């Protein structure tokens, strides 16, 4: 049974009027992926779904990525094929429209898994990706307000302060996008993000870390969202897939993975979407919101939820 699921990030959407735009965004993305999936390729489906999310400034990936502490965009993305364990990722990349497509090129055109920073940008240019500025006015305005709030005591900021800021202003955790698809032969997972608002320059989250925020093998695939440091420490995407390997359904595995995050790091920090090698879908979160859309055989319209 072929199937695809996408997410638009876990966290809190403070402005309720944004919710319909978010739900429409994940709906459009899953339909873009479904179109490719019906042609037979989970890999193409995941890339196209994530590109749709990256191109939508509502989400924190590609166009509309959040800004670092020094006001720049540094994006991460990864994709992984479950059948072959091939994977490609970019970290801290800038000046491209669709980081997920660059990550796919890393997987297909190099012997490496992860390229970062200036090297990732040079590789993107070599592969023909044009220079592109993903910064939006809305993100710049948010950056100015949040940075002023963070620095108003005149001290050097630390992650402890950023964590406190997230509690007070949950929109700081404007998170990741991702997709997982099964084409009847293999599961493919992909993830893309602009990171966390006001992150330290050079900070890399879980998204491009294979096993942390993105993972797929012969049993299942997973894409995580939330505070990246949590996913890295728990190797959460791989842990979720292992739960399927040990006999849990995709839904129960998703719930078990999020319970790990909650047990070790409290709530409001993680979400995950999954598909197993039978086409079963699963998703779970410990945040107030996580926009999700999915399609599978027999459905006429996508499910959307938040």
Q: In order of start, what are the domains of the chain with their CATH numbers?
A: 3-305 (3.60.20.30)
298 is in an annotated binding site: no
Q: Mean pLDDT of all residues in the chain?
A: 92
Helix (H, G, I), strand (E, B) or coil at 114: strand
**Residue-wise pLDDT tens digits, 243-267:** 999 999 999 999 999 999 999 999 9
pLDDT category of residue 302 using cuts at 50, 70 and 90: very high
Residue 301 pLDDT greater than 50, yes or no = yes
Helix (H, G, I), strand (E, B) or coil at 150: helix
pLDDT category of residue 160 using cuts at 50, 70 and 90: low
* Helical (H) or strand (E) element with 128: none
What is the rounded CA–CA span in Å between residue 91 and residue 75?
6
pLDDT category of residue 145 using cuts at 50, 70 and 90: confident
* Catalytic choice (176, 207, 214, 287): 176
204 is in an annotated binding site: yes
Helix, strand and coil content of the chain, in percent to the nearest 5, comes to: 40, 25, 40
Give the other-Cβ count within 10 Å of 264's Cβ: 11
Tell me, yes or no, if 136 is annotated catalytic.
no
pTM: 0.93
Q: CB within 8 A of 83, min separation 6: which ones?
A: 185, 186, 187, 218
What is the rounded CA–CA span in Å between residue 208 and residue 211?
9
What is the rounded CA–CA span in Å between residue 4 and residue 138?
30
164 alpha carbon, distance to own chain's centre? 23
Q: Are strands 114-116 and 87-93 parallel, antiparallel or unpaired?
A: parallel
**Residue-wise pLDDT tens digits, 214-246:** 999 999 999 999 989 999 999 999 999 999 999
Cα distances (Å, whole numbers) of residue 209 to 50, 51, 128, 214, 232: 17, 19, 25, 7, 7
pLDDT category of residue 144 using cuts at 50, 70 and 90: confident
Q: What percent of the chain stands above pLDDT 70?
A: 92
The half-sphere exposure of 53 on its side-chain side, counting CA atoms within 13 A, is: 39
205 is in an annotated binding site: yes
pLDDT for residue 156: 47
Residue 69 pLDDT greater than 90, yes or no = no
11 is in an annotated binding site: no
Q: Which residue has the higher pLDDT, 174 or 300?
A: 300
227 is in an annotated binding site: yes
pLDDT category of residue 14 using cuts at 50, 70 and 90: confident
What is the rounded CA–CA span in Å between residue 221 and residue 243?
11
Closest by CA to 282, choosing from 296, 301, 261, 263, is 296
Averaged over 52-56, what is the pLDDT? 98
Closest by CA to 213, choosing from 89, 65, 119, is 89
Residue 200 pLDDT greater than 90, yes or no = no
Q: What percent of the chain stands above pLDDT 90?
A: 78
């Amino acid at each position: 049974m072929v199937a695809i699921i996408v997410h638009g990030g876990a966290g809190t959407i403070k402005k309720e009027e944004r919710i319909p735009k978010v739900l429409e965004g994940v709906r459009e993305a899953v339909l873009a992926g479904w179109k490719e999936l019906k042609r037979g390729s989970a890999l193409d489906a995941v890339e196209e779904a994530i590109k749709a999310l990256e191109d939508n400034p509502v989400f924190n990936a590609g166009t509309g990525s959040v800004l670092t502490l020094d006001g720049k965009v540094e994006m991460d993305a990864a994709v992984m094929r479950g059948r072959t364990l091939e994977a490609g990722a970019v970290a801290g990349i800038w000046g491209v429209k669709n980081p997920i497509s660059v990550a796919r090129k890393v997987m297909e055109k190099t012997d490496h898994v992860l390229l970062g920073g200036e090297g990732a940008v040079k590789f993107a240019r070599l592969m023909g990706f044009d220079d592109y500025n993903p910064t939006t006015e809305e993100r710049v305005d948010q950056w100015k307000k949040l940075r002023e709030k963070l620095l108003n005591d005149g001290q050097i900021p630390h992650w402890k302060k950023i964590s406190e800021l997230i509690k007070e202003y949950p929109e700081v955790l404007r998170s990741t996008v991702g997709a997982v698809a099964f084409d009847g032969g293999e599961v493919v997972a992909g993830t893309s993000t602009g990171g966390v608002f006001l992150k330290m320059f050079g900070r890399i989250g879980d998204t491009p870390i294979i096993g942390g925020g993105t993972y797929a093998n012969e049993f299942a695939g997973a894409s995580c969202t939330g505070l990246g440091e949590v996913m890295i420490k728990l190797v959460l995407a791989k842990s979720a897939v292992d739960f399927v390997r040990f006999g849990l359904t995709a839904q129960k595995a998703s719930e078990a993975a999020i319970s790990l995050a909650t047990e070790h790091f409290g709530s409001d920090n993680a979400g995950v979407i999954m598909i197993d090698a039978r086409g079963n879908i699963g998703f779970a979160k410990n945040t107030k919101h996580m926009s999700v859309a999915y399609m599978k055989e027999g459905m006429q319209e996508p499910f959307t939820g938040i």
